[in-house]
Structure 1
């Protein structure tokens, strides 16, 4: 469904883009009509990771929108701006271009941090509800003020994997991402899609985003939120452990509902996806 042409909206190649504050071209998809639901993807994916949820939302009377974060997917592979503040500002530019209000935000993993930062800094009067799944915690990296965090060496290892052989690294990462090593039974096709989306990302965007998701501190952002917040997390998440993330976030957010999915991994697939999607639609309609 075409919603018209907006300032900074490019249609020359048949693909919709908006122009960010620094001129970067940000790709987005826009399906259906109704109250807008913006889906923000995790690392190393892009907006296609939310296709099933977008169709489900549009089929249920919502306008489903998903963008590719800069450096990811079809968005511009910028050298600069691969940081959480700029990601949130890019999302604000999208909201401005499409003139969106009464927004429901949905973020997975890094996208959870992005929507929280956007809501706290740009979303006043615009955001109606927030949902996150497997979202990065208040702070991910271990430091003096966050002694329970993961050591910086963990993230240095991810950086090394991305630089040395990111194709193999993404193939290997899909095993713990989807809990295949714990018997979740996710298909080879879903693992292949994870790899495919990861390989569409720029090397610079992939590398810089590791710092963005691991070192950004969302504590004050979370404290400032007062809209209904649905906080979803699998209790077998090997990428963003629930004890360091949702179980800390729940104490910071005012109007929050925590839903723990037994045995669920980090990646949204299989039985976890079916259960989460049903809960998301219920939350959207509530």
Structure 2
């Protein structure tokens, strides 16, 4: 079931709500530059097992409104709060991938984890997406600058190249095209704006404000958010557990989807 939630007078967020009668709820936050459809292989299975799966499209992406402004971590975390309040969600699991993981971390710190009972960080872009003087892990700032420049100059080419980095395992031509089309559904300016937030924002002071049980799932071969980010997350977040995915890159929810789904289910059931 799909519908819209108004988070600002002129901004509506698209929500895909599957199995509303499920006993336990998981709210999925997608990564850059895709949308909620990234979690197709979770939405296919988890509702059958009694889970309510909610996927949202971040503003500027997928079927959500695409305003010119509002792509900071704070604003995107506020959008999540707007959805949580509108749907009256309580005692749910928040699961964020890549920048969606970063936004989930900011949500936990900024809104005191409102309504969240458990957190899942999936190849999360935290505590920082780029290398910094105090943290020598992540992408080079110049590489992100190049992504932003290519977004403005030839976004389809940028998306194709990014897709080649995304997965460790071989993907079929059809799957690569499907993944490419997810990125095209975003606005070019929102794609660039969120990449700018990825480059400029950090979460060093947010991680120690997370107090719910946290599961960290991360591909060992991730070329976008290297595995060292997951190790830093586990070190800084209380009551956290890191599960490495030995045969995955950034797309572990597809590359090792059976293991991914099992780890998620086990964690929620604990």
Q: Is the 8 A contact 1:91 1:118 kept in 2?
A: yes
Corresponding position: 1:185 with 2:170: yes
The C-alpha deviation readout for 1:115-134, integer Å capped at 9, x for no partner, is: 11112222445110011111
Match of 2:237 in 1: 253
Match of 1:277 in 2: 261
Q: Is the 8 A contact 2:107 2:113 kept in 1?
A: no
- Greater shift after overlay, 55-64 or 252-261? 55-64
Match of 1:23 in 2: 10
Distance 1:165 1:52 in 2: 30
- Among 197, 203, 226, the alignment partner of 1:241 is 226
Distance 2:248 2:126 in 1: 17
CA drift of 1:233 comes to: 0.6
Match of 1:116 in 2: 105
- Among 229, 232, 238, the alignment partner of 2:217 is 232
CA drift of 1:189 comes to: 2.1
The C-alpha deviation readout for 1:176-205, integer Å capped at 9, x for no partner, is: 1112xxxx2222222111110100000111
Q: Is the 8 A contact 1:55 1:64 kept in 2?
A: no
CA drift of 1:109 comes to: 0.6
Corresponding position: 1:104 with 2:93: yes
Query: Residue 236 of structure 2: SS of its match in structure 1?
Result: coil
Q: Is the 8 A contact 1:170 1:194 kept in 2?
A: no
Corresponding position: 1:163 with 2:152: yes
Match of 2:208 in 1: 223
Q: Which sections of structure 1, spanning at least 5 residues, go unmatched?
A: 2-14
RMSD, aligned α-carbons: 1.6
Match of 2:252 in 1: 268
- Greater shift after overlay, 251-260 or 185-194? 185-194
Distance 1:48 1:128 in 2: 24
Corresponding position: 1:151 with 2:140: yes
Query: Residue 156 of structure 2: SS of its match in structure 1?
Result: helix
- What TM-score do you get using the length of structure 2 for normalisation? 0.94
Q: Is the 8 A contact 2:12 2:64 kept in 1?
A: yes
Distance 2:133 2:262 in 1: 40
Call closer, same or farther: CA 1:61–1:77 in 2, change over 3 Å: same
- Greater shift after overlay, 115-124 or 253-262? 115-124
- Among 129, 133, 153, the alignment partner of 2:118 is 129
Call closer, same or farther: CA 1:149–1:171 in 2, change over 3 Å: closer
Runs of 4+ in 1 over 4 A off after TM superposition: none
CA drift of 1:147 comes to: 4.1
Distance 1:115 1:24 in 2: 20
Distance 2:132 2:184 in 1: 31
The C-alpha deviation readout for 1:253-278, integer Å capped at 9, x for no partner, is: 00101001113111135542221111
Q: Is the 8 A contact 2:148 2:196 kept in 1?
A: no
- What TM-score do you get using the length of structure 1 for normalisation? 0.89
Q: Which sections of structure 2, spanning at least 5 residues, go unmatched?
A: none
For these two proteins, the number of residue pairs brought into alignment is 268
Q: Is the 8 A contact 1:229 1:257 kept in 2?
A: yes
CA drift of 1:213 comes to: 2.1
